[in-house]
Amino acid sequence: MYETQLPLDPDQLAIRDATREFAAGVVAPRADARDAAEEFPAEEIAAAAEVGLLGMTIPEEHGGFPLDAVSVALAYEEVARASASVSVILSVHNTLVAQALAEHGTAEIKAQYLPEMAVGRCIGAYALTEPEAGSDAASIRTRAVAVDGGFELSGEKVFISSAGHAGVIVAFAVTDPEARTSGRITAFVVDPEQDGVEIGPPEKKLGILASEICAIHFDQCHVRYEAVLGDVGGGFGIAMGLLSSGRIGIAAQAAGIAAAALDKSLEYSASRKQFGQPIAEFQAIQWKLADIATALDAARLLIWNAARLKDAGVAYGREASQAKLFASELAVRAANEAVQIHGGYGYLKSYGVERLYRDAKITEIYEGTSEIQRLVIARGLLAQERPRR
């Protein structure tokens, strides 16, 4: 198993090693079967809750097991090494939903949901994307109309991870259609069991098959005023802040996929013989292994740097985008090379790299495509260089 030789503090190493043991013992044995059946890993998520992996962004007073951002990223990577599907369920639950409630929810909302989320009795879903609003999140059309005691939500959300198993939804809707980006959108906490919420069937997709995505239809769904996250009109800022944090998580997931691809390639190339010697002796294979290992080290540095900036309370949006861009493109490249190194066997499901190949692609798309990450990075750079007036 390939390691990046960089200093982590003892607590971070302990989290990494404990999560690695959990992933190897609980997640990995069923990962291929869950993928083949396109089956939500309910037992693995329940087991993850038992070891604290569903409460990593929840304060202790609400039953959580809060960790620093570097440790959270390490945990996501180790789980993704075994199953990218399980890793993304944990990432959305912790980073996009539990963190949103912990940072922006009322005392009542925190008390209602966070303890249940920490122990896995309530899984979180994050409903931002719509049929006509993907990368352009500011153009969402779901409306929240003010009524007595709160708001009524109507509209359609798509590609919502864990929607079919969610116990709480963080949903974004337009409350002031006349406003521009600032002041236009509000974030709400929605119970998926309440009237006016319809969850569609799981979509058929290329990869991460054990992680479902569904559409959500809101039809005059009543949401109490107390279920507003933050301020009315402040939803877009909340969404973008959460996505910056979530991009660290997806970068870590991508690093886990790349690490698994490298691990399998190292093992296979050392044992597979052609022309009387292990294929690892051929320079063509060695260069592939060297390139993946070097890029994996770089990806981890970018991820940990963004996470440390987050822990320090420093702006980290550009750095999170850099980490997500580099790690996701590495995951696709590493999985492709793993299939090539395995040759014909790489095309078979029984060797495992075929699943990595399918799982890797989504990391370049969700929580901001590679194109959007480049825009974020470039704007950050240009903002630094603009002369002051």
What is the tens place of the pLDDT at every residue in 109-131? 999 999 999 999 999 999 999 99
Q: Going by C-beta distance under 8 Å and a sequence separation of 6 or more, which residues neighbour residue 85? A: 31, 34, 35, 41, 208, 209, 210, 211, 359
Q: Once rounded to an integer, what is the mean pLDDT over residues 192-218?
A: 98
Q: What's the pLDDT band for 387 if we cut at 50, 70, 90? A: low
Q: Which of 254, 210, 244 is nearest to 80 (CA)?
A: 254
Q: Using one digit for the tens of pLDDT, what is the confidence trace for 224-248?
A: 999 999 999 999 999 999 999 999 9
User: What's residue 388's pLDDT?
Assistant: 46
Q: Using one digit for the tens of pLDDT, what is the confidence trace for 293-305?
A: 999 999 999 999 9
Q: Exactly one of 50, 367, 371, 385 is catalytic; name it.
A: 367
Q: How far apart are CA 165 and CA 83, in angstroms?
A: 18
- 367 is known as an active-site residue: yes
Q: What is the mean pLDDT of the chain?
A: 96
Domains and CATH numbers, the chain: 10-123 (1.10.540.10), 125-234 (2.40.110.10), 237-385 (1.20.140.10)
Q: How far apart are CA 222 and CA 325, in angstroms?
A: 38
Q: Using one digit for the tens of pLDDT, what is the confidence trace for 350-360?
A: 999 999 999 99
User: What's residue 101's pLDDT?
Assistant: 98
In this predicted structure, the answer to whether residue 389 has a pLDDT above a threshold of 50 is no
User: What's residue 376's pLDDT?
Assistant: 96
φ/ψ of residue 55, rounded to 5? -125, 25
Q: Using one digit for the tens of pLDDT, what is the confidence trace for 78-100?
A: 999 999 999 999 999 999 999 99
Q: Once rounded to an integer, what is the mean pLDDT over residues 348-369?
A: 96
Please compute, for residue 299, the number of CA atoms within 13 A of its CA located in the half-sphere on the CB side: 34
Q: How far apart are CA 202 and CA 213, in angstroms?
A: 5
User: What's residue 124's pLDDT?
Assistant: 98
